[in-house]
Structures are given as structure tokens and as C-alpha cells.
Amino acid sequence: MKAIDIVGMRVRVKGTYGMGMLPFLISLFFELAVCPVFGQANNGIRAQVREDRLYLEVGREILGHPLLLVRHGMGQQQVVWQRQGDHLILKVPRINSLAGTILPVNQDFKIEALVLARFPIVSETADDLGTIVDATELFLSAHIPWYKDFVEETPVPGEGFIEKVGYLEGETIIQTRRTVSRNGNRKTVLVDFSFFRLPDPMQPRLFDRRMGYFVEDIKQGTAPLGSIARWRLEKRNVHKIVSDPVRPIVFYFDTMVPEKWKPYIKAGILEWSPAFEAAGFSNAIQVRNLPKDTLDVYRNSMNYSLIRWENYAGIRGAEVKRGSTADTYIDHRTGEILKADIILATSYENLSDEYFVRCAPLDKRTWQYPFPDGLLGELIQFVTAHETGHALGLRDGNYGEFAYPFERMREAEWLRRMGHTPSIMTYARHNYIAQPEDSIPPHLLIQKVGPMDHHQIRWGYTVLGPDGERPKLEQWIKEQDTVPWYRYNPGYYKTIGPGTGNEVVDNDDPIQNAVLGLKNMERVLVLLPKVNGDQRDDLFLERLYGKTVELWYHEMSNVLSLVGGYGVQLKSGIQQGGVYGPIPKERQMEAIQFLMANVFKVPDWLATPKFLDRLSFSTNDDVVLEKQLTLLSDLVEPFRMKRLERMEPTVDVGLTMQLMEKFQNGLFGELEGKVVHIGLRRQKLQRAYVKLLVRALMEERRYDRPSARENTYLYSDVSKSVFLDRLLALHKEMEKAMKRAVDGSTKGHLLLCQQEMGRVMP
């Protein structure tokens, strides 16, 4: 090894690496260069760009110690550096969680460690405290699995480059730009990385599925043992019941946020302040502007949680964009949230449309479309409050809304204190249950942080001594026994009851809820042509009609969820009673009756509004019929039938047959008339019903493989027995009704149905 003295510094050059003096020059550059923007490294990793190559100096003191490698906007990996002879290895090991478990690599327990890269050592520093490697390919083209099943767009060779590198507190930042290809389409994207020094571990709080927190590895969803995701909040004055934190949670506006929306965004974030006061913290959340003299530094950084504006207003194609979210970066050892960006991406049009179809009859500001800034700002505040919940560690889900009292949904005082839904983290959206005569102030119609959110933050963030933490946390959870809107469930593959649905205002009387909702939907369709008068064409009319029908579908689905439905209260092993409580038979029968009157017989104002001739010319465009058929299919789908079968011993033996008999009698009620005439819409629904049951009867289960996965999605023999009984009865009724059919269309329809049933008749 050759030693060279330059300006009093001793730099050791390891070989020639095929590039002559380049290793020496790189080492010298690290010794002399000062980054003018970012400052100096203090996490053990320095970075420099020379001749389009990225060189990292890795300090010996960090070898074997965990760091966070972050791809901003995409994901993170906890990594360690190790030396292996003339190479440095960067790998992802298993993580020892302080919750008392080991977190596997990318959720694969078989992997001991994942090697991301193996770098030949270019040179070493003069004091032997650092080692230099060329890491260019790692950041421009290497495939790094940021989470399980991650698929990266393919980088185009030669078209990516390192823009700049630098440092912030505990952080080395590498900013890159690359061109990628996916399905033959190319685009240029900004891809920024950070090496971040992890803090000393904090005390974790154990994950409990009865509460609405993410587990520390949020890509995993839930875990039998883990830590919840939360910020580190410590009291400045531990003797005070409510104290400022040592270090508050701070969100910074990025440079793209329009000034006129900043007050509303700030208000949405600060809606959470009272919840933190209940947890013992004043001024726990703050909203600030970035320092003006260093704005360029913070495009992406682990040191700053940003409010990002990704609303592409004015760009064609972005009008209907949704997808506001929050990106969080977490110390998986403890669940500590290290950084969270609030990303506001929902378009003005989407915000406006969702509010219009719910609240236009209750808020005259909506009659001016596009909305005035004051109303649009309130809607931006609503979205911001929801995404802030994610940034604080809370998940989407159902937060006790099925328990909210229906009679309170039209009382201004209740709405002011409690809101129309317990939590901002539900997808209940805005209050369309209130009626115009209730004179509810419009700002009370918009979803806000609620009592369930206070309950969640108190449970997750209150500082408790390690000895008394578990009993106190359990005591708070058990408040769910007496305050039912404190109950959380994360949602299910299928909606299994009114408390597990989305997109509707839910409460303890779904049927009366729907009655009031229908009244406002009818008023919306009356308003649509009037508001459309200021538009250049009928695209607004068509779009809002479709969204009204979509809301109608969600509301009817909520009523349908009573049939074969359960109430849910998640419980620990020590809590008595069942988790799933069947909906009483009377309520299920009432739901069938309501569906017959409002889904399978729809009013003209919904199916054929007066403006329909401006939108369509064929039944191919019958969006209402499409939703009716979907609801019909949902009513008799195998998962619902199996739930009914399961609840028969406790609710009523024969429940399934009674419900199917009631439904079939209603759907084919025309067969009882002295003169039988069946309209075209009813013909389509009746024939669909027959075909659904026939198809179910013709299914073949795998009896040689009773646990076969495909059997999960098939009907049980019990359901098939009920279906066959109903078809036999229907066939007889049609035989009698045929003599009383007065028109060829009805006769042909009855013959087609009988022909279809003949495929399974004994």
C-alpha cells in the first residue's frame, strides 16, 4: 500500500482500482471539500459526487450499527454496514423489536438477512476511521425491495444521474433523477434517498387490535405482537397534568402549497390539538413554514415532515384525481414515527362532487359551481384532518359509527359537540341525513375530528409508568363496553354488518337513515339541471347524476348489510361474551321489506329523471339498473348465505328460508295479480334472480378436498337446498300466472325463466 502526504494530511490509497490516481483524489476531496448548502455529516456517512459518480465514506464507528435507508415517497429499510475483507456490505437484517419479538425481513421469516449491495473498497481515509466506496449503481439502478411484493419501474440505462448530496441533522441525503420505463412508457422522476441515524429507542406501546393504530411495520397491517406507530412525546414538566412536550410534532408547508389554502390546512391539522390535551400535552402539534433561506434543501428529508401539495389543478386529466394520503417513516424497533408527510392530492372537482351529492340541498353555497373558496377551503380542511390522523399513526376503519344515535343526526348542539360520526378516520364523509327544515349550519355538515379520535389519542399517547401502563390501557379499552362508539374494527373482506361499511353516514337505525338520505338525494337531482345551466355542456350533469346513483347504492348496501349481518366488538381473552352479535330477525325482515320497496322498485326521480334524455339513448347506459343487479347479486352471494346459516341456531331455525321466501314473494309480486303484467325493468331483475340461483345450484364443490380454497367462494349444500326449494315454488307460481299474462313480453319472460329453471329441475 502506497502512502502519500498532501498538505500535512496522510491519505492511504488502496491499489489503483484501474483508475490511476482517482482513489487518491477521491480521498483528498473528502478531506478538503465542504458542502456549501447542507453542512457536514454527523451520522457516520459522508457523500460526494465526482465525475458523475457517487462516493460514500462510511465511518468505522457505524459498522454493525443500525441506520435507516429511506427512499422518500416509497419506503424504508433498516440497514447495517459490515466489512468483509476488501469490500463493504450493505444488508437488511432482522430487527429485534422492543415489543418482544423479531421482525422478519420483508415479512419473510425464512430470510436471515438480505444483502442490498457489496462494494469494493476504493480507498481509506488517512486516519483509518473511514472507508470509501463507489455507490452510484445502488442509487441509480439497483433493485431494492422497499416492501413485500415491491415492483419497481425499470430504470433506463444511462439516463439517470445524481443531482446533489448533502447533510442535515443525523442524515445524509442523496438526490437523484432517473428515467424509468413501465409497459413501454417512459417518464422522468425524482428519486431521493437518505441514510438516517436512528435515535436511542423509546419505550414502545404494544399493539392491540381493538384500537385503530398501525402496527410499526404498517405494510403488514396487523400483528399478534408488535408496537403501535406513534410519535415520541415526552412532557417538559412531568409534574403537570397537561404540559408542553419536550419536542412537539411539527409539520412544514412545502413551497407548492397555495397561500390561500394554508389557513384551512393548518386548521385541519390543529383539529387534533384537543385530543392531545386529553392525553396530557398542550401545543403537541405545530404547523410552520420552512426557513426561506434553505427551501431547496428540504425537497425530501427525514428531518422535516412536510405538507405536500399534489393537487394538479388546471392540468387536463387531473380533474378527478383522488389519493390524498400520508407517508410515514418508523423506527421498527419501537414504533416511533420519525417523519410523516401529509400529501394532499385530492382534486377540487372530487372534493366538490362528493359534497354536492350529499349536502347541496342543505348548503346553498354549492349552487355556485365551481365552489367559492370558503367552502372549498373547508373541504380541504376535512381531507387534511383525515390524513393527519394517518400521520399520527391511525388507520382507516370503522370507529363505532353504527352505535351513534340516529335521532341526534339532526340536532345542531349534538353535531357541534360530537359530530355526525365518531371519527374523522371513517369514510362516512358528510352529513346528508339532516333535512333542510333542521337549519343545520353548513359547517356542521362536514366531517371533523370526533370523540373516538380523542379516545384513540389518549390511549396511544398518554405518558404512563411502565408498571401501570397495561392495566390503565386495558381500563380505557374497556370503556368500549359502555360507550359503543369507542369500538373499532379494521374492516373485513366483505361488509358483514352496518358497522363495517363505508361511504355512508352510519348510525343505530340504518333504515330510517336511508329514508332521510333518499329525500336529500331526490332534492339533489332536482337541483342538478339548475346548477348545470352555467356549464358549457352536460358533463357536469352526467357526472353528478352518476355520483348520486353511487351514493344511493352505498346507502342501499348499508341497509342490505342488516341481512345476515353482525354487530362487532373485538375483545381480549379476559372479556366475556361473543365478538359477533347477529342482527335480530325482526330487523333483517324489516331490511328485506325496505329493499323491496326502494331497490327492486325504484322511483322515477332516480331511474328516469327529467334530464335523462340529455344523457343517454339506450338501456346500455342504465346506471341504476346496473346497481340494482349488483345489489341483487350481493343479497344472495355465498358469504351472506353462510352467515345466515351460521346464525340460525341462535336467531331462528329456518331464518334463511324465511328471508328468501319473503324476498322472492316481493320480487315476483306481479304473479299474484288477477292480470299479470311485468315491466321491462322488473323482468331483468327477475331473470337475473333465477339465473343466479340456477348457477349456484350447478356449482361443483370439491368434496375430495373439503379445505380447498375454491370452496370458500362456493355455496354450501344448505344454501343450495333453500335455492332449489324456492325455484320449485316459483316454477309452480309461474305455471299458474302464465294463464293470466296479458302481453307477449310478459309471457315470453315467464317462458324464459321457466326454461332457465328447467336446467336444475328434478
DSSP line for 723-759: HHHHHHHHHHHHHHHHTTB-SHHHHHHHHHHHHHHTT
Does this model's pTM top 0.75? yes
* Residue 28 located in a structural domain: yes
Q: How many folded domains does the chain comprise?
A: 2
pLDDT band at 291 (very low <50, low <70, confident <90, very high): confident
Q: Is the pLDDT assigned to residue 724 strictly greater than 90?
A: yes
Which residue, of 150, 176, 197, is where some domain finishes?
197
Contact (Cβ atoms closer than 8 angstroms) between residue 487 and residue 400 = yes
Q: Is the pLDDT assigned to residue 70 strictly greater than 60?
A: yes
Give which of 617, 687, 212 is closest to 450, Cα–Cα. Answer: 212
DSSP readout, 509-520? -HHHHHHHHHHH
Which residues are within 8 A (CB) of 731 and not within 5 positions of it... i.e. 6 or more apart? 754, 757, 761
The one-letter code for the residue type at 211 is M
Name which of 218-222, 608-612, 700-704 the model is least confident about.
218-222
The CA distance from 248 to 596, in Å, is 55
* Residue 130 located in a structural domain: yes
Which three cell numbers mark 358?
350529499
CA 611, 614, 615, 621 torsion: positive or negative? positive
How many other C-beta atoms lie within 10 A of the C-beta of residue 152? 16
In degrees, to the nearest 5, what angle opens at C-alpha 745 toward C-alphas 729 and 692? 45
* Residue 502 located in a structural domain: no
Q: Is the pLDDT assigned to residue 236 strictly greater than 90?
A: yes
* Residue 44 located in a structural domain: yes
pLDDT band at 474 (very low <50, low <70, confident <90, very high): very high
Helix axes 510-532, 348-359, angle to 10 degrees: 120
Q: Is the pLDDT assigned to residue 409 strictly greater than 90?
A: yes
SS3 325: strand
In angstroms, how far is CA 540 from the centroid of its own chain?
Answer: 27
* Residue carrying C-alpha cell 426561506: 292
pLDDT band at 184 (very low <50, low <70, confident <90, very high): confident
Mean per-residue pLDDT, 620-640: 96
pLDDT band at 710 (very low <50, low <70, confident <90, very high): confident
Mean per-residue pLDDT, 27-53: 67
- φ and ψ of 205, to 5 deg: -115, 125
Tell me the average pLDDT of the chain: 92
The CA distance from 168 to 113, in Å, is 29
Range of the domain at 115: 2-197
pLDDT of residue 11: 36
Strand order in the sheet with 249-253: 285-289, 249-253, 305-309, 336-344, 325-331
CA 594, 599, 602, 606 torsion: positive or negative? positive
Which residue, of 197, 225, 251, is where some domain finishes?
197
In angstroms, how far is CA 285 from the centroid of its own chain?
Answer: 23
Name which of 235-239, 571-575, 661-665, 733-737 the model is least confident about.
571-575
Burial 311-347 (b: 16+ CB within 10 A, else e): beeeeeebbebeebbbbbbbbbbbbbbbbbbbbbbbb
SS3 222: coil
pLDDT digits (tens, 9 = 90+) for 432-465: 999 999 999 999 999 999 999 999 999 999 999 8
Helix axes 539-560, 510-532, angle to 10 degrees: 180
Contact (Cβ atoms closer than 8 angstroms) between residue 585 and residue 564 = no
Q: Is the pLDDT assigned to residue 531 strictly greater than 70?
A: yes
Q: Is the pLDDT assigned to residue 590 strictly greater than 90?
A: yes
% of the chain surpassing 70 pLDDT: 94
Mean per-residue pLDDT, 224-251: 96
The CA distance from 337 to 202, in Å, is 11
How many other C-beta atoms lie within 10 A of the C-beta of residue 538? 14
Give which of 348, 330, 377 is closest to 230, Cα–Cα. Answer: 330
The CA distance from 29 to 18, in Å, is 19
Which residue, of 197, 232, 260, is where some domain finishes?
197
pLDDT band at 154 (very low <50, low <70, confident <90, very high): confident
* Residue 586 located in a structural domain: no
Which residues are within 8 A (CB) of 656 and not within 5 positions of it... i.e. 6 or more apart? 641, 644, 645, 648, 718, 719, 722
In degrees, to the nearest 5, what angle opens at C-alpha 435 toward C-alphas 591 and 371? 115
Burial 79-113 (b: 16+ CB within 10 A, else e): bbbeeeeeebbbbbbebebbbeeebbbbeeeeeee
Q: Is the pLDDT assigned to residue 16 strictly greater than 70?
A: no
Mean per-residue pLDDT, 119-123: 96
Beta strand 249-253 with 305-309 is parallel
Mean per-residue pLDDT, 203-213: 96
* Residue 13 located in a structural domain: yes
pLDDT of residue 413: 98
Torsion of CA 571, 577, 578, 581, to 10 degrees: -110
